């Protein structure tokens, strides 16, 4: 296995017209890690993930994924290289059944045995999805849709999984389920970049973290250390 | 019952049969309209011109004495390839620039084919012989031709095929996924440009098929796509645009209404009736008969 970081971003800049949403950020993720990208609303977290996934194009900077430059590839090619995203707001296919959503996650795969194993894994992780697999995804609750979005991204068996605010707008009892699932997915060997506003939980389950403020990285370090950092406590932990 | 009343019912039945056959062809054209709208929310005004280009391909194939099945394939492929070129060169570059520019571009593409068609093929109508020798069966006072029966069952077959495609094949499920959320589909690794191109090709090839089959009632000419395209658009909207069974339902409604009105009342009202139905539907159920009539999905 390569010792290079699975993802390495250097001096990345992304604009929406004149709005400079991501300002010269650099970050790297090692294989096997959970890395948290922390930041308040509008900090540029989603923009960063969209730029990595190829839904947005960077105006400057480099993105290297698995020893390959990806910033000029279309999104579907980046997914094919092993980088999946569970997007903000879930973005599930409400008009498809739950099983069809998972099939779409595995769209590029041909290894039927592997698909079956991974399907069992996500059904085991989220039994609700198994129970309701033939129903339309629009019948799921917000929290269940979030589980589906994570499971769907997992089904491509990515080397790196991007999760954009998996706890946003879901019932508090399900937040715990989601975070336990993220830990389990990571223990199963998958590297994760987790975007969160729920700093407390995100820092507890991740190895390292970056803090994004107004499009810039203002702080970075081990999650355990950031948990006790006074600045973080004040800005994100509410004490 | 008086003799007159009995004949009235026989007449109605005849118009119904003619309407179903005609409506089947409208349905075939409306399917492509609705599929393209479903995936990129584009009202493709050039869809009728895809039909026309396909019909001309069929016409030339027959003129070169190729057998009918080859002419049918030529129509379908011809329309499909024209659609692929238009999508790639005209629609794709302006995708994401908003709906009004797309609409204007589509109208421009449509006019380009109408007038280039007149220049290249001539404006005079050309006859295309029916798919096979017409045999008319009499049932009491009504006539049904083998071509009408063929067209009816072909349309049913196409609907079943599209259902199978969109529910049981990988590319078909991807089409449904892309039509719901293009960006999320892209994140799945789906090459959405390719899915969109495939949708154009499929929809246009059905229009091309309808184009050559129409030879049994109408001639082929460069402006034929204008009224057929409009009727298919009306059919798609009446049934619920973006919804495949809706396009078929709308096609049948328009076909039957046209034949009823022109038979029982005045043939000059034939074209007007579809727009009358459109206005009623837009007032009563703006999302179309099978539409959700809620806020448009993403
Ligand atoms: N589609 C867009 N067009 C213009 N500006 C946008 C768009 N999306 C986000 N922004 C702006 O970019 C900045 C970063 O947004 P975003 O990446 O969504 O933040 P976060 O995910 O951290 O909440 C914000 O100021 C936001 O208003
Ligand atoms: Mg966000």
Whole-number mean pLDDT of chain B? 93
CA–centroid distance for B113 within its chain: 17
pLDDT confidence bin for B25, thresholds 50/70/90:
very high
- CATH number at A72 reads 3.40.50.300
Q: Determine which residue's CA is closest to atom 7 belonging to ligand 1.
A: A16
Ligand approaching nearest to the C-alpha of A89: 2
Pocket of ligand 1 from Cβ distances under 6 Å: A 16, 19, 21, 39, 41-47
Domain-by-domain residue ranges, chain B? 29-233
The two three-digit tokens of residue B198, written as one number: 């495939």
Tell me: the pLDDT tens digits for B50-92?
999 999 999 999 999 999 999 999 999 999 999 999 999 999 9
**Number of compact structural domains in chain A:** 1
- Which of A93, A106, A108, A151 best probes binding to B when mutated, by most B CB atoms within 10 angstroms? A93
Q: Is residue A131 part of a domain?
A: no
Q: What is the DSSP letter of B91?
A: I
For every one of its 239 residues, what pLDDT tens digit does chain A have, with 9 covering 90 and above?
557 899 999 999 999 999 999 999 999 999 999 999 999 999 999 999 999 999 999 999 999 999 999 999 999 999 999 999 999 999 999 999 999 999 999 999 999 999 999 999 999 999 999 999 999 999 999 999 999 999 999 999 999 999 999 999 899 999 999 999 999 999 999 999 999 988 999 999 999 999 999 999 999 999 999 999 988 888 877 65
Closest atom of ligand 1 relative to the A39 alpha carbon: 22
Q: Name the region of A238 (left: φ>0; alpha: ψ -120 to 50; beta: rest).
A: left
The two three-digit tokens of residue A77, written as one number: 């090619």
Tell me: the pLDDT tens digits for B152-198?
999 999 999 999 999 999 999 999 999 999 999 999 999 999 999 99
Nearest CA in chain B to A50: B187
Q: Is residue A34 part of a domain?
A: yes
Sign of torsion over alpha carbons B278, B281, B287, B290:
negative
Q: Residue B226 CB: number of other CB atoms within 10 A?
A: 16
C-alpha angle with apex B157: B193 to B211, nearest 5 degrees?
70
The H or E element that residue B40 is part of is: helix B3-40
State mean pLDDT over B255-275: 88
Ligand approaching nearest to the C-alpha of A88: 2
Contacts of residue B196, Cβ cutoff 8 Å, sequence gap at least 6? B39, B40, B87, B92, B178
Minimal C-alpha gap between A91 and chain B (Å): 6
Residues A133, A135: Cα–Cα separation, whole Å: 6
Is the Cβ–Cβ distance between B225 and B114 less than 8 Å?
A: yes
Q: What is the 3-state secondary structure (H, E, C) of B221-241?
A: CCCHHHHHHHHHHHHHHHHCC
Q: Determine which residue's CA is closest to atom 3 belonging to ligand 1.
A: A16
In the three-class reduction of DSSP (H, G, I as helix; E, B as strand; rest coil), residue B102 is classed as helix
Residues B297, B41: Cα–Cα separation, whole Å: 10
Q: Is residue A2 part of a domain?
A: no
**Cβ distance of A104 and B186 shorter than 8 Å:** no
Q: Which domain holds residue A61?
A: 7-92+159-237
Q: Is residue A145 part of a domain?
A: no
Nearest CA in chain B to A155: B188
- Which of A79, A81, A96, A107 best probes binding to B when mutated, by most B CB atoms within 10 angstroms? A107
Q: What is the DSSP string of A17-54?
A: TTEEEEEEEEEEE-TT-EEEEE--TTSSHHHHHHHHHT
Q: Is residue A116 part of a domain?
A: no
**Cβ distance of B188 and A104 shorter than 8 Å:** yes
The two three-digit tokens of residue B62, written as one number: 């027959």
């Amino acid at each position: 296995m390569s010792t290079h970081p699975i993802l390495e971003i250097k001096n990345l800049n992304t604009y929406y017209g004149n709005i400079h949403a991501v300002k010269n950020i650099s970050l790297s993720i090692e294989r096997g890690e959970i890395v948290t990208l922390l930041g308040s609303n509008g900090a540029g977290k989603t923009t960063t993930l969209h730029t990595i996934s190829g839904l947005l194009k960077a105006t400057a900077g480099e993105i290297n994924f698995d020893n390959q430059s990806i910033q000029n590839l279309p999104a579907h090619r980046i997914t094919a290289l092993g980088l999946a995203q569970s997007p903000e707001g879930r973005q599930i296919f409400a008009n498809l059944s739950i099983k069809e959503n998972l099939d779409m996650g595995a769209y590029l795969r041909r290894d039927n045995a592997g698909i079956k194993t991974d399907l069992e894994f996500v059904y085991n992780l989220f039994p609700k999805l198994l129970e309701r697999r033939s129903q339309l995804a629009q019948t799921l609750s917000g929290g269940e849709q979030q589980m589906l979005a994570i499971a769907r991204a997992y089904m491509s068996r990515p080397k790196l999984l991007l999760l954009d605010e998996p706890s946003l707008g879901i019932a508090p009892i399900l937040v715990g389920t989601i975070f336990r699932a993220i830990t389990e997915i990571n223990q199963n060997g998958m590297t994760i970049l987790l975007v969160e506003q729920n700093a407390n939980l995100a820092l507890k389950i991740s190895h390292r973290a970056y803090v994004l403020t107004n499009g810039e990285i203002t702080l970075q370090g081990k999650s355990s250390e950031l948990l006790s950092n006074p600045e973080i406590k004040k800005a994100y932990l509410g004490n | 019952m008086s003799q007159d009343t009995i004949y009235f019912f026989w007449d109605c039945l005849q118009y119904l049969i003619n309407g179903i056959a005609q409506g089947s062809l409208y349905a075939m054209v409306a399917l492509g309209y609705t599929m393209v709208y479903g995936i990129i929310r584009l009202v493709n005004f050039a869809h009728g011109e895809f039909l026309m280009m396909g019909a001309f391909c069929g016409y030339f194939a027959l003129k070169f004495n190729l057998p009918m099945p080859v002419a049918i394939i030529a129509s379908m492929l011809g329309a499909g390839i024209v659609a692929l070129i238009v999508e790639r060169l005209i629609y794709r570059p302006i995708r994401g620039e908003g709906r009004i520019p797309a609409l204007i571009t589509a109208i421009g593409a449509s006019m380009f084919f109408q007038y280039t068609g007149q220049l290249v093929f001539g404006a005079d109508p050309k006859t295309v012989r029916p798919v096979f020798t017409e045999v008319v069966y009499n049932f009491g006072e009504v006539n049904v031709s083998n071509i009408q029966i063929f067209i009816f069952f072909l349309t049913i077959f196409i609907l079943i095929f599209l259902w199978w495609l969109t529910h049981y094949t990988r590319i078909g499920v991807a089409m449904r996924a892309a039509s719901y959320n293009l960006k999320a589909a892209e994140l799945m690794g789906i090459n959405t440009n390719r899915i969109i191109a495939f949708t154009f090709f499929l929809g246009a090839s059905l229009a091309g098929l309808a184009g050559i089959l129409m030879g049994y009632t109408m001639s082929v000419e460069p402006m034929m796509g204008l009224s057929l395209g409009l009727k298919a658009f009306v059919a798609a909207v009446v049934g619920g645009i973006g919804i495949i069974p809706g396009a078929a339902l709308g096609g049948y409604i328009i076909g039957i209404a046209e034949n009823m009105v022109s038979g029982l009342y005045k043939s000059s009202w034939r074209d007007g009736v579809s727009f009358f139905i459109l206005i009623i539907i837009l007032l009563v159920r703006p999302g179309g008969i099978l539409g959700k009539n809620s806020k448009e999905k993403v």
